[in-house]
């Protein structure tokens, strides 16, 4: 009887911890996924072209110069997945801050990479796992205003991840992607023009619940 009570208490504690840390932590197969208010269940919308009004973000996600203390050199990109912000270090404790969309649960990651390639109006090839979830998607889509990768893409190392634009401005500030970082097109064009190939990119992710 005492063993059963102990197990019940442990189970209740585990559920409380999972609820407290969602959506910042990566999902584990043996844990329940708790719905999040900022994890949007939005499918890709190839062909949709956002209007300038749609690309006007909430003020807190608009591009702006902010105080940011770091030892990293000017020109470094630092991404805080949990904050939904990308910072381009300017020096003198300042950074340009951009609102971003990030990976949903199970697709968030952290690490150190470099921009290995840059592309204007990139083509889009949905990965097989995305095709499984959304079988109606095209297998290839040429770059253009209605392309889900948006106006620019910066490829991270030899991975499948990118910093790119989006034709879905409403997803900025939310966890919705398959691990890439998305910005509205005016912001990704601004960032693209400021950073060269070889730029250091540091991705911070809140640790998963163990």
Per this entry, what is the length of the chain?
210
Tell me the C-alpha distance between 176 and 182, whole Å: 10
Answer yes or no: 13 catalytic.
no
Question: How many helical (H) and strand (E) elements, i.e. helices and strands, does the chain have?
Answer: 3, 11
Task: Determine contact, residues 184/171, Cβ cutoff 8 Å.
Answer: no
Set 13, 80, 164, 204: catalytic member: 164
- What proportions of the chain, in percent to the nearest 5, are helix, strand and coil? 20, 25, 55
164 labelled catalytic: yes
Who's near 179: CB < 8 A, 6+ residues apart? 103, 107, 108, 109, 160, 161
CA dist 96 → 5, 52, 194 (Å): 52, 21, 11
Q: Which of 13, 48, 80, 180 is catalytic?
A: 180
Residue 101: Cβ-neighbour burial (10 angstroms; 0-12, 13-18, 19+): buried
Kindly list the catalytic residues.
164, 180
């Amino acid at each position: 009887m005492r063993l059963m009570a102990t197990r019940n208490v442990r189970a209740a504690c585990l559920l409380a911890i999972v609820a407290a840390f969602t959506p910042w932590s990566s999902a584990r197969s043996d844990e329940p996924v708790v719905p999040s208010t900022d994890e949007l269940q939005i499918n890709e919308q190839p062909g949709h072209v956002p209007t300038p009004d749609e690309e006007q973000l909430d003020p807190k996600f608009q591009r702006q110069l902010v105080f940011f203390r770091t030892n990293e050199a000017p020109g470094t990109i630092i991404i805080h997945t949990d904050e939904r912000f990308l910072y381009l270090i300017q020096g003198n404790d300042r950074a340009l801050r951009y609102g971003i969309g990030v990976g949903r649960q199970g697709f968030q990651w952290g690490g150190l990479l470099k921009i290995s390639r840059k592309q204007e109006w990139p083509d889009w090839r949905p990965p097989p796992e995305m095709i499984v979830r959304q079988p109606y998607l095209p297998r290839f889509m040429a770059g253009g205003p209605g392309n889900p990768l948006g106006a620019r893409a910066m490829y991270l190392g030899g991975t499948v991840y990118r910093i790119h634009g989006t034709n879905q401005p409403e997803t900025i500030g939310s966890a919705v992607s398959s691990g890439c970082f998305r910005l509205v097109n005016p912001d990704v064009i601004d960032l693209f023009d400021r950073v060269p190939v070889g730029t250091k990119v540091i991705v911070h992710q809140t640790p998963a619940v163990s």
